[in-house]
Amino acid sequence: MKEYSYIINGVQKTSDKLIDVTNPANNESIGSYYVSTIEDVEEAVINAKKSQVKWARLSQEERDQYISKITEVLTTNKTYLAELITKEQGKPLSGPGSNFEMDACIGWTQVPTSLQLEDGLIFEDDTRKDILKRVPIGVVAAITPWNWPLMIAIWQIIPSLKMGNTVVIKPSEYTTIASLEMFRLINTVLPAGVLNCVTGDGKIGGHLTSHKLVGKIMFTGSIATGKRIIEASTNNMARLTLECGGNDAGIVLPKTDFDQIAEGLFWGSFLNMGQTCAALKRLYVHENDLESAVNALINITKNFKMGNGLNEENSLGPIQNKMQFDKVNELIETAKNNPNAKLFIPELNVPSEGYFIPITYITGVDNGDPIVDEEQFGPVLPIITYKTVEEAIEKANALEVGLGASVWGSDSNQLEEIVLQLEAGTVWINQHGAIHPFVPFGGVKQSGYGVEFGIEGLKAVTLPKIVSYKK
């Protein structure tokens, strides 16, 4: 099987340690990757720091031209990378799967080049004039998760490069191969040292994020790891953008037609088999609408097939790794021990091999139950009833997270009232998880801080500099 290298200063590197990677749909080996050392991290950051000086001196137009070349190389290799994603991460080629992820990668490289951060006049009178400029931070350390490994890497890389920074990126140890191949391809069109990659577990990530030459850390992952990164950053006082996941709530107004919204609820919940930070993971419905909600969701679920994602008839794939597979199954088993809980599992011919879990709807549970309070990150949706909308809002806000939320219904005035009361970075109306490259995205509470995307995302990878002129 093929062995995949990491890249430092434009050179592919190997080490004494290889980790084998298997397809979560059938446990077949797809290759192995070399694991970086602490010395590799040092080399990567030092080279990124050296390269950043020259990269920052390029004009904005020149850096945009390099980013356009990245768009071209991703477009040319879309099919190859999409198949690697499916083999390694598990999401199907079809539907909102790996081809969708690659389309997002390509689209997200194009948007930043259309945006410009202009100098701003802050103050002017007869004696002085003060201008706000945006300058590069320096070296950006990026840590990516295993659920959307290439797309989230692009979210971190492209704005950073556009604004004159260089990057050292560490992909998740669970989805390293596809990431390495994308980084290799991107390096064919970039100057050496602008994009560097190291591999490994949290030890490598910890050394990277605490490095004294790192000026910015971008992270997507768990709350626990996010807190460790905050601690590590005290060593270098790096700026932080942390997206630490969520346990997003959705509230459906009373008497809403569930047949009309069922598909939106389904994909809002089960995009990437629920392995999405901004997926709908808690659904609150009026007690009189419970039966309608369950029936509509079961009916829509029967339209989709589950299996190996290389078969384009399948739009539902496996859980990415055994750790997460075991966690989701444990939450389901715990829910079964609740005498009030009822499980609804539509027939989908779930494969016997691989990390497959059937789409599961659970009623009779409430806030306080693990299946509700803990982010499942899998194909499970607890449906919780409420008596009043005020009760639903209180329950939706009760947890420590606040990445996204959604409200569903036809009464626009009531929807707007609820939006203002929900504690989340983004609140969607009659949709969920509908992120957009021009629209800032970030969480509140323990879902992290800082935003990505759009003009605000560009600001997040720069430093403000005031230039004050005497008249």
Active-site annotation, residues = 243
Residue pair 384/284 in contact by the 8 Å Cβ criterion: yes
User: Residue 432 has what DSSP assignment?
Assistant: S
CB burial of residue 455 (10 Å; 0-12, 13-18, 19+)? middle
From the list 254, 274, 272, 252, the residue with the least C-alpha distance to 262 is: 252
**Is residue 457 within 8 Å of residue 129, measured between CB atoms?**
no
Helix axes 98-113, 149-162, angle to 10 degrees: 10
What is the number of other CB atoms lying within 10 angstroms of the CB of residue 128? Answer: 11
Q: Return the H-helix or E-strand segment holding 168.
A: strand 166-170
What is the SS3 assignment for 318?
coil
Three-class secondary structure of residue 353 per DSSP: coil
For residue 183, list its beta bridge partners: none
Single-letter code of the amino acid located at 42:
E
What whole-number distance in Å separates Cα of residue 402 and Cα of residue 16?
42
